[in-house]
Chain A
């Protein structure tokens, strides 16, 4: 119980986010209408993804400091779960965009070209590509120690190159996506109080769930790689 309180918390928050997210009143905005409820799912996916990539980065740094193989497994698994979240964030974003941005007079694919140019979509595409490349790099090195070291270096380098530019560039390019002036959904002026009531619990809930999944994956991998862990 003492150790699993956050798992229970995650379930409670997610039940609240789903029930409350679908039933509680939302401000009726001209463009968004009821689709604004997707904020609880779409934006919190991105939040959880960024947090998990950051956790992965921290594990990479710890690997380089200690050369303990455990941290390499953690870094890999956290970024794998973060990629899944990124893909889910894309999926929810596509559904949202198809109701709000896409031109209803044209078939859906006709709007594709203009939507994909969105700086924020480019940013996430880059983030996902970078971490796909991280996995390609991992699989191209056979020696275990070398793989851990080189991929940790790449993880740190890529993170440091990637995230400042993801946060800065959308502000320099024109975009339809909300949050042009600052961090989307973080600014108190552009998110209504009623939305915030559900939004922050949802972010916490999804992040905890993602961490939970990642820890399970880490534990499975610890069992798989047992002989390497103890050989150290």
Chain B
């Protein structure tokens, strides 16, 4: 089981390294978005707007990066996986791979954001940690949604429709939490509560994915 997960995970990483177009495509996407923001925002970067823009951009990056994880698998390849591995191993390897991918994407986009749009945060280290936490949550949810959407027609647009309502609560929590890095004072213990809540949501996504994916798996 664990070996299957590792092999599938390696296969995804290897494919990514060989093909590369997806990785560079997303990086280019981030760069052009940040550049457009840089041109349109001008020099004054208010912390609140900076924060909001960052999360919106991360959301779209996440959709673009994660969507292809299931869309790239052709019908024939899915049949092949179906015959050699279990659905649990498959979904766990996808979740892990997308986590890795989004953490890389997050660091690239945060770097570009800080470079182009300046740094309004007070505690940059904290912001980096919060953004990693948020990016992981986004990637887990969208992996599951990509699995659902890959069963339907017009997958890419469907994923946004299915995903946005579900992601809004978590996004609200994250935007709230990331105000920590702008030195906003919280009620004692509130930041810990929100962090644990986000982690609990992430955990429940993983559990649900493991339970529900076998039903999506069969064609």
CA distance A129 to B216 in the complex (A): 23
Chain A residues positioned under 8 Å from B2 (CB to CB)? none
Contact of B194 among A133, A164, A172 (CB under 8 A): A172
B215 at the interface (CB under 8 A from A): yes
CA distance A96 to B166 in the complex (A): 28
Mask: chain B, 111-150; 1 = CB below 8 Å from A; 0 = not: 0000000000000000000000000000001001100110
A156 at the interface (CB under 8 A from B): yes
A140 at the interface (CB under 8 A from B): yes
Q: Among B27-35, B45-53, B170-178, which stretch is in contact with chain A?
A: B170-178
Mask: chain A, 136-179; 1 = CB below 8 Å from B; 0 = not: 11001110001001101110111011101110110011000000
Contact of A154 among B153, B162, B193 (CB under 8 A): B162
Looking at chain B's contact residues, the main secondary structure is helix
Contact indicator A161/B158 (Cβ below 8 Å): no
Chain A residue nearest to B194 (CB atoms) is A172
Chain A residues positioned under 8 Å from B153 (CB to CB)? 140-142
Chain A residues positioned under 8 Å from B145 (CB to CB)? 157
A220 at the interface (CB under 8 A from B): no
Contact indicator B161/A150 (Cβ below 8 Å): no
A22 at the interface (CB under 8 A from B): no
B76 at the interface (CB under 8 A from A): no
Contact of A165 among B169, B208, B218 (CB under 8 A): B169
Chain A residues positioned under 8 Å from B144 (CB to CB)? 157
CB distance from B62 to the nearest CB of A (A): 15
B212 at the interface (CB under 8 A from A): yes
Contact of B172 among A133, A141, A153, A169 (CB under 8 A): A169
A64 at the interface (CB under 8 A from B): yes
Chain B residues positioned under 8 Å from A150 (CB to CB)? 148, 151-152, 216
CA distance A130 to B145 in the complex (A): 12
A126 at the interface (CB under 8 A from B): yes
Contact indicator B168/A122 (Cβ below 8 Å): yes
Contact of B162 among A123, A133, A146, A172 (CB under 8 A): A133
CA distance A168 to B194 in the complex (A): 10
Contact indicator A162/B166 (Cβ below 8 Å): yes
Q: List 5 A-B contacts (CB under 8 A).
A: A127-B165, A136-B158, A149-B216, A154-B162, A158-B166
